[in-house]
């Protein structure tokens, strides 16, 4: 509701002035109390009442037109603001969609790296098991193959180092995946909280 005061229109002031003159003429007619004066006062009051009615009717119509124009301008500004907000929401949704797609791609890459690390780990374990079997066979035949035993021990150390490196890489990749998934879920939760807000 606005605090502005609507100024009095000339039509309304004119209608009130005409009605006041009709009251004065009616009082004069009653005071004089002659038929011609009473008839003239009555006719004057009827004509003035009609003119005042017309003036007030025109004033009300003008006020309604002004109010309708104000409402139309307000509706247009609200529509413009709604369109701007809608565009902002669409841009934000597209930006968040791109971020989520990027995070999904990064997560997929990390998962592929985990699968590769697991395959390498399985291969390293197979090599370790093979080297252990070979080492056991060499130990049984230690008298005749001492030099073969030493080379097998060297190979076993390499395989153990490879296994440790693979397990370390797997733990690192798992930690990165967990960090990415946590960041993605935090981002999704923030988006959800923004939508609720």
Coil, helix or strand at residue 71: helix
- Pick the closest to residue 48 from 13, 18, 20 (CA basis): 18
User: Rounded distance, CA 86 to CA 181, Å?
Assistant: 30
- pTM passes above 0.85: no
The per-residue pLDDT for 148 is 62
The per-residue pLDDT for 85 is 93
User: Rounded distance, CA 58 to CA 55, Å?
Assistant: 5
Residue 173 contacts residue 114 (beta carbons within 8 Å)? yes
Quick: pLDDT tens for 122-162.
999 999 899 888 877 766 766 665 666 577 688 888 888 88
- What mean pLDDT do residues 57-69 have? 91
Phi, psi of 143 (to 5 degrees): -65, -35
Q: Which residue reads 């035949």 in tokens?
A: 141
Residue 138 contacts residue 149 (beta carbons within 8 Å)? yes
Residue 70 contacts residue 140 (beta carbons within 8 Å)? no
Which pLDDT band holds residue 1 (cuts at 50, 70, 90)?
very low
Would you say residue 105 has pLDDT above 70? Answer: yes
CA angle 40, 41, 42 (to 5 degrees): 90
Find the distance separating the first CA and the last CA of the chain, reported in whole Å: 27
Tell me what the pLDDT averaged over the chain comes to. 85
User: Rounded distance, CA 90 to CA 86, Å?
Assistant: 6
């Amino acid at each position: 509701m606005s605090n502005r005061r609507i100024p009095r229109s000339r039509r309304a002031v004119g209608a009130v002035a005409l009605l006041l003159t009709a009251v004065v003429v009616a009082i004069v007619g009653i005071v004089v109390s002659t038929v011609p004066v009473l008839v003239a006062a009555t006719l004057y009051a009827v004509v003035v009442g009609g003119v005042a009615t017309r003036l007030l009717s025109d004033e009300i119509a003008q006020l309604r037109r002004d109010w309708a124009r104000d409402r139309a301008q307000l509706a247009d500004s609200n529509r413009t603001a709604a369109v701007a907000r809608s565009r902002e929401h669409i841009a934000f949704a597209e930006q968040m969609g791109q971020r989520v797609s990027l995070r999904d791609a990064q997560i997929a890459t990390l998962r592929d790296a985990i699968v590769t690390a697991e395959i390498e780990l399985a291969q390293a374990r197979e090599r370790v098991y093979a080297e252990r079997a070979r080492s056991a066979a060499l130990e049984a035949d230690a008298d005749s193959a001492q030099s073969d035993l030493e080379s097998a021990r060297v190979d076993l150390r390499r395989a153990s180092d490879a296994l440790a490196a693979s397990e370390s890489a797997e733990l690192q990749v798992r930690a990165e995946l967990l960090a990415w998934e946590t960041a993605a879920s935090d981002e999704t939760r923030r988006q959800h909280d923004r939508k609720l807000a």
